[in-house]
Structure 1
Amino acid sequence: MIPEDIIYAFGGSLKNYSKDRTIFNEGERADFYFQIKTGHVKMFNMTEEGKEFVQGYFENDNSFGEPPLFGAFKYPATALTLEISEIYVLPKASFLKLLKTHPDIHLKFTKLICKRMVYKAKIAREVSIYPPEHRILTLLHHLKGSTERDRTFEVPLTRQQISELTGLRVETVIRAIKKLEKSKALSIIDRKVFI
């Protein structure tokens, strides 16, 4: 998202994180901008029953946890590495200065945050009122995006990840995907889901 040379020019650094390392916890003050060079991170909340509800998965070149940098609120979720990861870290004040200096990058963040807000609104509606099949299709169509509407799209998520993103049990996701395949709403080829 932000070119490496610009991150360094504003005082950023590249840090190495081991697998299963917490980057920040839900409720902590947001003091840094994070962008993945290599690796995989998930942001999640824990329910009272001890179940994870995943807010999102982030990979190479993705940033995560930005909204609190724009407001006076704390991280709404915990971020954890899923594999060894290299992550750019930039102090909040430097990040905000960078955005003022580079309006093109600022506009990219505005678009990114708007896209994430639309996703959150869709998922909140799905979780509260729709059956599993509908929740899953909404997630998959969101991932596919409007630009891919006419092409077949391979879903880059496991059944477990779909479960975590929709708040459903894995067994429910497996049954719902089979039901969606029977109704021809999606295809399964070599255990991979296509829509």
Structure 2
Amino acid sequence: MIPVDLLLKNGAAYRKTEPGEIIFNEGGVATYYYQLVEGRIRWCNLMDDGREVLHKIVEPGDIFGELPFFDDGVYAASAISDIACTLLRLRVDTFKQLLEEHPAIHFDFTRSMASDLRFKFMLTDIVSRNCPEDIITSLIQYLNQEKKLICQDCNRLMLTRQQLANMTGLRVETIIRAIKNMERNERVSIVRGKVFIPADGIGGIS
């Protein structure tokens, strides 16, 4: 989102995290702006029974945890390293000053948050469907359109069955059955447990 050179010039520092490491907790006070350089981060709510409600998979170049900067609230969700990560962090007061000095970057943030909000509306709409295959199809179609979480070289879906369940609210067993049904109908392929979509896109909703 923000050029790395500009972040470093304003005092940002690199930080490395291990798989499963919590970067910040839901309800915590925001003190840093975060931008992912390498790795993957789960942005989620942790339930008392151990379940996760997955809101977003953060990929390199993405920002996360920015909402408190604009409403002075606390973190609405937790950020957890999915794999080993390298990220940049910048103190909030410096970040806000940077936005004031670079209106174009401020506009990019507004557009990014609007995109995330649009995704949540889309997700709310598709999870109201009764057919798990339709839910998964709509989600994959959206990700493919946005070029997110689908490998642009091999068309592999870069979400696990558990992450699909956490994102849609379906049981993981339901996700597994639905994907197997989709494979039988030649809407996806499964190779060594990995899900691949056709080069020309996944088939439409039945």
Q: TM-score, normalised by structure 1?
A: 0.87
Give the equivalent residue in structure 2 for 1:178: 180
Corresponding residue to 1:192 among 172, 192, 195? 195
**Equivalent residues in 2 for 1:1-195 (5 A)?**
1-145=1-145, 153-184=155-186, 186-190=187-191, 191-194=194-197, 195=202
Unaligned runs of 5+ in 1: none
Unaligned runs of 5+ in 2: none
Amino acid of the residue matched to residue 75 of structure 1? Y
Residues 107-140 of structure 1: per-residue CA shift (max 9 Å, x gap): 2211111110011112223334543222212211
Distance 2:42 2:89 in 1: 17
Indicate the SS of the match to 2:163.
helix
Distance 2:61 2:134 in 1: 30
Distance 2:131 2:75 in 1: 30
Contact 1:31 1:69 in 2 (8 A): no
Q: State the Cα distance separating 1:146 from its structure 2 match.
A: 6.1
Tell me how many residue pairs correspond in the alignment. Answer: 192
Distance 1:17 1:177 in 2: 32
Which has the higher mean CA deviation after the structures are superposed, 56-65 or 175-184?
175-184
Contact 1:42 1:81 in 2 (8 A): yes
Amino acid of the residue matched to residue 16 of structure 2? N
The structure where helix makes up a greater share of residues is 1
Distance 1:188 1:159 in 2: 14
Q: TM-score, normalised by structure 2?
A: 0.83
Amino acid of the residue matched to residue 91 of structure 1? R
Distance 1:128 1:46 in 2: 22
Distance 1:25 1:130 in 2: 33
Contact 2:183 2:190 in 1 (8 A): no
Contact 1:127 1:166 in 2 (8 A): yes
Kindly, what percent of the aligned residue pairs are identical? 33
Distance 1:59 1:97 in 2: 25
Contact 2:26 2:45 in 1 (8 A): yes
Distance 2:106 2:24 in 1: 23
Indicate the SS of the match to 2:83.
coil
Contact 1:32 1:69 in 2 (8 A): no
Shift of the 147–8 alpha-carbon distance from structure 1 to 2, 3 Å rule, reads closer
